[in-house]
Structure 1
Amino acid sequence: MIRDLMALRTLIAIAKDGSFAAAAAGLRMSRAMASKHVSDLEAELGVKLINRTTRRLSLTEAGRRLTAASRDMLEMLDQTEQDIVSSKGVPRGTLRINAPTSFGIRHLGPIISDFLGRYTEVTVDLTLEDRVVDIVEQGYDLAIRIRRLEDSSLTARLLTPAHMVLCASGAYLQRHGAPSGPRDLERHSCLVYDYLARHGTWSLEKDGLREDVRISGRMHSNNGEVLMQAALDGHGITLAPTFMAHEAIREGRLVPVLRDWSVVEPGLYAVMPPGRVEAAKVRAFLDHLSASLGKIPIWDRDLSSQAGP
């Protein structure tokens, strides 16, 4: 039976930082002590956990299995200890969040700033990226996902629908005309967000009828801000979330098209590893996030009144 929790913490830190020196510095111990912790753990288990060379180190299969199994256990132990120490369950500790880049910059940043002002004993570690990461393996408490969620072991809370809008600049529509139906998109230059287009397809619905349209165009990207700018510059039609496009639509810089068709939309979710929602810091942030977004997020208010072809 493993009795030395610090040895496990050391192994996890080495796996995360990629070196004994960096892990030792983060844990405020000497490099020799970090090495001894791992050696003692290997001796106790009778297996090698880390492959060491002069240039790099890597976890063995046993090391990867032990690290994955230990990380959540230790984080839950730390959180339980924090909750017990706080007689009133005051949220405290580090809250690790993963979120999409554009949503994080445009909307999540101010919400987190307000949260930090309210909960002074919580530290937030926010990572912004558009690719979907394994939040359990990466050690996140919570992730914001904008997609249609598949079944998984993660705990999910729907925060709000993620409304999507097809739009283009007035200059582009004057040159090429506005599409009158989904199939017209096939002859237009479409600006494609790689993480949203399913196999190069946009899906639209009207009166129970679904149209899956193969789209192509002059630009694909894994970043929505780049595609928004290309649309503003008149290079095509883009499918954008309203949390990004609402200001440009209200100001008339982008014009919605095919307004009588609805896009098969994802949702804006908070997802958490199993059991993490019980942590005081996670519950507090979820409540704060939901209250900040409101029943109708600010980016969707009055947007339906904006005219479009």
Structure 2
Amino acid sequence: MDSLLSLRVLGAVADLKSFSAAANRLGLSPAMATKHVQHVEARIGARLLNRTSRNVSLTEAGTIYLARMRPLLEGLDEAEAQISQTAVKPSGRLRVSVPVWMANPPFAALVARYNQRHPDVTLELDLTPRIINLVEEGFDLALRVSSALESGLIARRLGDMHFRLVASPNYLERAGRPQSLADLQGAPFLAYTPVARDGRMSIRTAKGEEEIQFKPVLLSGNESLLMFAAREGMGYSFMPHWLVDSELKKGRLEQVLPDVARPSVPLYAVYPDRSYLPAKVRSFLDYLLECGFPNIGD
């Protein structure tokens, strides 16, 4: 059995307090992760982990042993990563958390081109509206549209994500097309829950910030659902340009006040705070910047 991998498994189990989570991070089965830890324990002749049905924790011996081993493992990881940046092709599984609305043709095409360039990297993309914990859940990278990011992570700004205020042509014909932001006060709104649960939006204009108080009629953390509801004429919604530009071209949606109501939010690539980046992570970041993501098609 690979003793070095066994040490990595031990460290992951200790960090995540879970055999299954550690196995998922390292691309192993839970049974194999258990065997690796047992291999280390057998080699040194001591129990390193306390195991219960609900919790996994280091024993006193495990704490001492891992404290001595971690600097060695981290040094090896850093040396391998530094070499891989120049000498080794990117490879392995790359786990990336991305917003739900990135399930669209432009992003799929971008991913396909990356795969052609780096066929030895297996991309695992998790699309979920919640903010995942990169370290505890074993992700290499996350793409996040936000103006505020949690501490303990490195954030690399990729660009700005532009949003369109949209509604269906049928709705606008029925309710009338607004001529100014003031006309939107009290209008029915399809609200993205993490951002505008109460229907209040602040729009930067040439005159400064102008606040709109919409009337929420649908709340959801799924942008695609909000877009489909807008197509059905339920009201207004702010949508990422990647998600709605094809709908605008097909006439299913109409952009409202395009010269005024066009907010943008920074898009960041975030990853755990460490002094090196594996080749697979660096190659994906460099690729996103090279191809002009996220402003493709804007």
| Equivalent position of 2:255 in the other structure | 256
| Equivalent position of 2:20 in the other structure | 17
Compute the displacement of 1:229 (Å).
Answer: 0.6
- Unaligned 5+ residue runs, structure 1? 301-309
Distance 2:179 2:120 in 1: 55
Distance 1:145 1:110 in 2: 19
Q: Deviations over 1:188-241 (max 9, x none)?
A: 111111123265321112114212223223211110111101111111111111
Q: Go from structure 1 to structure 2 and tell me whether the alpha carbon gap of 1:33 and 1:152 turns closer, same or farther (over 3 Å shift).
A: closer
| Equivalent position of 1:178 in the other structure | 177
Compute the displacement of 1:168 (Å).
Answer: 0.4
**Secondary structure, aligned partner of 1:278:** coil
Which one-letter code corresponds to 1:149 in the other structure? A
1:201 is aligned to 2:204 = no
1:59 is aligned to 2:56 = yes
Distance 1:91 1:173 in 2: 50
1:81 is aligned to 2:80 = yes
Distance 1:233 1:42 in 2: 66
* CA-atom RMSD in angstroms: 3.9
| Equivalent position of 1:224 in the other structure | 223
| Equivalent position of 2:29 in the other structure | 26
Percent identity for Structure 1 against Structure 2: 29
Compute the displacement of 1:139 (Å).
Answer: 2.4
Equivalent positions of 1:210-289 (< 5 A) are: 210-275=209-274, 278-289=277-288
Aligned residues: 286
| TM-score with structure 1 setting the length | 0.76
Which one-letter code corresponds to 1:17 in the other structure? S
Distance 2:177 2:122 in 1: 48
Distance 2:285 2:156 in 1: 9
| Equivalent position of 1:110 in the other structure | 109
Distance 2:220 2:95 in 1: 27
- Unaligned 5+ residue runs, structure 2? none
Distance 1:193 1:199 in 2: 10
Contact 2:134 2:140 in 1 (8 A): yes
Compute the displacement of 1:26 (Å).
Answer: 2.3
Q: Go from structure 1 to structure 2 and tell me whether the alpha carbon gap of 1:222 and 1:295 turns closer, same or farther (over 3 Å shift).
A: closer
Equivalent positions of 1:148-163 (< 5 A) are: 148-150=147-149, 152-163=151-162
Distance 1:243 1:181 in 2: 25
**Secondary structure, aligned partner of 2:281:** helix
| TM-score with structure 2 setting the length | 0.78
